[in-house]
Structure 1
Amino acid sequence: MSLSRRRLLIWLCLLLVPVSLGALRGSAQQNGAQVENDVSYGEAGGQKLLLDVYRPGGEAKTRPAVILVHGGGWSGGDKRDFEPYGRALARQGYVAFSVNYRLATKEGNKYPAQIDDVQRAVRWIRAHADTYGVDPNHIGALGASAGGHLVALLGTRDTRDNSDPALAKYSSRVQCVVDMFGPTDFTVQGPLSEQAMAILYNFIGKTPQEAPAVYREASPITYVDKNSAPFAIFHGTADPLVPIGQSQRLYDALQKAGVESSFTKFEGEGHGFQRPETNRQFALEALTFFNRHLKP
């Protein structure tokens, strides 16, 4: 459930397409991304939680932020997978935070470890907004596959674990969400491949029959209401791992609740986007969406 680094590099190039060549050269010279790797945003289960920060260069000022959440079936992937996204967003005037979270294994780190960590990251960003020049009221989220699932929860669900007094006053909600082919409703039985079912079992630790309430709790669609964040959803019609119906269900629920949302279907694309024209359209739509909701 992860994107290849090659596809991410394509996205990096395409994200900068809307900028004129002259402006792009100036941006690269004056506002190249400042990168800070392996910043600790907490500890959980005896594991240090780390993120990478990508900041615009040039004159310091308060900027909107985007949290980037990698895929990998909740059991793989790494924050460095989204380095091209982070650098590209920094060049567009955002402070980007690419986060690691606890990965599910056979032995542990089952749900809700992942959403607890990602929600902690958003709250940590707000707590350290002055340090990183972030506008705490303008934070967006982007995630792919399993990361799409987690950012969808950021846009729909309130803080699950509020046990850390240092973060108690900070919200984990984001102001907008870019969801790339993330699963959204685990209560729907089929059509799922054996691979998808195995990934889900490793993530939850039980079958849907054994723990229906947990599957419902882990589903972003459970929490959709009029207060949900605006969504931009992207999915390939030929996705063999996460059926496009998962995104359709989320979009329909958002529309019914009166939440601003869009759903872009890429004909013939699978789990991840291969064609340059698809990546170009995605990059333009995602950046336009972030600019509309995060740049006052």
Structure 2
Amino acid sequence: MRLNLALIFLFIIMPDISLSEIKAPSSIIPYKKLQGGDLMLHVFGELEPAKIKKRPAIVFFFGGGWTGGHPKQFYPHCEFLSEKGMLAISAEYRTKGSHGTTPFQCVEDGKSAIRWLRENASKFKIDPNKIVAAGGSAGGHVAACTGIISGFETGNLDISSTPQALILFNPVCDTSSAGYGQKKIGDCWKKISPLHNISNETPPTCIFHGTADTTVPLTNAVNFQKTMKEKKIKCELHTYQDAKHGFFNYGRGDGSAYNDTIIKMKLFLEGQGLLAKEKN
């Protein structure tokens, strides 16, 4: 039942693509033990390469309203960045559909994934100072929370769960009644509202959002960027005219939005020194 629900959400998110067209990860490894089964990281790239000293890493979190979804959503993004030299990962995390959890546990798992990766950086030849969190919609919220929200920590607290940068696709930045998700989160919504918790330590951020998004309004991203600019923190906002929620996914429409967003994602990472610039 859990698998079927996850696949239903995957088809909602990526309606124009066959699962057979998506390249599979090179490995799937556990990062968090839970009753009933481990949470896994779907990894693109060799885990322990012999010829690499250190490399950057990125972790993607799927969308689905904290209710469902599947790591397959970001397999294409992972494949693209893996080919550019990053260890690219699409992470599992608990949702209401899979584990009966709330958005607070989603945030906890997101932080656990970043912390586990940094804790194992030496083993997997990752630069612990070049770890990026990314995601779409509710997964964008999870990613943003790893870089912004305090608390919801488990594991070795001596190791930071904060990434060096955030890449967010039509993300839930505001969980108030003016944004998205307050009814799902409840009265404590502000504790995990990225917009309301931005600080001087918030990582540089790149956001992609459609102007016709009726699920997560563009104002989420606009207000987030405004607050970031007030604190003099880099925040790119790329808007797409008449684009609806999920416009950025691989296989959506003619593919032009996907292609444009991954190129801008790459340029942002290069600009932040988190990805080596390609030689001409």
**TM-score grouping bracket, smaller chain normalisation:** 0.7 to 0.9
% identical equivalent positions? 27
| Residue among 5, 18, 32 paired with 1:42 | 32
Q: Which residue of 2 aligns with 1:173?
A: 162
| Residue among 58, 61, 86 paired with 1:94 | 86
For residues 53-68 of structure 1, the aligned pairs below 5 Å read: 53-55=43-45, 59-68=51-60
Q: Which residue of 1 aligns with 2:109?
A: 117
> Which SS does the other structure have where 1:40 is aligned?
strand
Paired residue type of 1:40: P
Tell me how far apart the structure 2 counterparts of residues 223 and 86 of structure 1 sit (CA, whole Å). Answer: 29
Q: Which residue of 1 aligns with 2:201?
A: 227
Instruction: Report if aligned partners of 2:203, 2:233 keep a CA contact under 8 Å in 1.
Output: yes
Instruction: Report if aligned partners of 2:93, 2:109 keep a CA contact under 8 Å in 1.
Output: yes
Unaligned runs of 5+ in 2: 1-8, 248-252
Q: TM-score, normalised by structure 2?
A: 0.82
CA distance 1:115–1:288, change in 2 (3 Å): same
Instruction: Report if aligned partners of 2:25, 2:75 keep a CA contact under 8 Å in 1.
Output: no
Paired residue type of 2:161: S
Question: Is it true that 1:52 corresponds to 2:24 in the alignment?
Answer: no
Q: Deviations over 1:154-182 (max 9, x none)?
A: 221245224x3xx2211111111111111
Paired residue type of 2:192: A
Tell me how far apart the structure 2 counterparts of residues 176 and 66 of structure 1 sit (CA, whole Å). Answer: 9
Paired residue type of 2:200: K
Paired residue type of 1:120: S
Instruction: Report if aligned partners of 2:149, 2:192 keep a CA contact under 8 Å in 1.
Output: no
| Residue among 276, 288, 295 paired with 2:255 | 276
Q: Deviations over 1:179-237 (max 9, x none)?
A: 111111122336xxxxx66xx54x42x4xxxx1xx111121112201111001111000
CA distance 1:104–1:260, change in 2 (3 Å): same
Structure 1 runs (4+) greater than 6 angstroms displaced: none
Q: Shift of residue 106 of structure 1?
A: 10
Tell me how far apart the structure 2 counterparts of residues 181 and 91 of structure 1 sit (CA, whole Å). Answer: 25
Question: Is it true that 1:289 corresponds to 2:278 in the alignment?
Answer: no
> Which SS does the other structure have where 1:216 is aligned?
helix
Instruction: Report if aligned partners of 2:58, 2:134 keep a CA contact under 8 Å in 1.
Output: yes
Paired residue type of 1:295: L
Structure of larger gyration radius: 1
Which has the higher mean CA deviation after the structures are superposed, 219-228 or 101-110? Answer: 101-110
For residues 60-209 of structure 1, the aligned pairs below 5 Å read: 60-105=52-97, 108-162=100-154, 164=155, 167-189=156-178, 201=183, 203-204=184-185, 206=186
> Which SS does the other structure have where 2:130 is aligned?
strand
Q: Shift of residue 83 of structure 1?
A: 1.6
Provide the aligned C-alpha RMSD in A: 2.7
Paired residue type of 2:62: H
Unaligned runs of 5+ in 1: 13-31, 191-195
Tell me how far apart the structure 1 counterparts of residues 160 and 220 of structure 2 sit (CA, whole Å). Answer: 27
> Which SS does the other structure have where 1:77 is aligned?
coil
Question: Where is the helix percentage greater, Structure 1 or Structure 2?
Answer: 1
Q: Shift of residue 82 of structure 1?
A: 1.7
Tell me how far apart the structure 1 counterparts of residues 162 and 211 of structure 2 sit (CA, whole Å). Answer: 29
Instruction: Report if aligned partners of 1:53, 1:98 keep a CA contact under 8 Å in 2.
Output: yes
Paired residue type of 1:48: D
Paired residue type of 1:157: I
> Which SS does the other structure have where 1:172 is aligned?
coil
Q: TM-score, normalised by structure 1?
A: 0.78
| Residue among 224, 235, 242 paired with 1:261 | 235
Instruction: Report if aligned partners of 1:158, 1:173 keep a CA contact under 8 Å in 2.
Output: no
